[in-house]
Amino acid sequence: MTVPATAPDSGAAEQSAAPGGALSQLIQQALDKGDSYQRLADRALDPETGETVSKPYLQRIVKNPPANPPTVPMMRAIAAALGKPFRRVQEATAEQWLMYKATELAGYDEEVRIIVTHLAVKSKAELMKWRYMIEAEERAQREADE
């Protein structure tokens, strides 16, 4: 890591790696780019509720994550602090606390996302069954249109 030319402020981050959680890593990345816990906390304001996140809470997320994930207003505040979209912070929170890795299905509506999520946990045999049903329906539709 490159050391800044000027002395960091008293709230600058220690340069230890985050314990591995996705939200911990997002915060650590901001610290690695020269932000401090205090500057993050100063920006950590949920625009909807006015809830804030403190410097000690941000430090705990990185160094010794609490047992419970942040609330939705806290996630919005963290997103504001990091300058990241709420959805990114929400996904990182889900990954760190629920071991759930979100995947993006851009351009599809909620129904398609629900179907894909449902199929993601199926066995290979069940997936083949669903694929054959979908392909059969498409063939029947094409034949009806001819």
User: What pLDDT does residue 59 have?
Assistant: 97
- pLDDT tens-digit profile of 93-128? 988 998 877 666 666 777 776 777 677 777 889 888
Q: Can you read off the two tokens belonging to residue 6?
A: 């000027």
Q: Can you read off the two tokens belonging to residue 31?
A: 């610290």
Instruction: Please say if the pLDDT value at position 3 is more than 60.
Output: no
CA distance 62 to 73: 19
User: What pLDDT does residue 18 have?
Assistant: 46
Q: Can you read off the two tokens belonging to residue 110?
A: 């909620």
- pLDDT tens-digit profile of 38-94? 999 999 999 999 999 999 999 999 999 988 999 999 999 999 999 999 988 998 998
Q: pTM of the predicted model, to two decimals?
A: 0.60
Determine the 3-state secondary structure of 16 from DSSP.
coil
Instruction: Please say if the pLDDT value at position 17 is more than 60.
Output: no
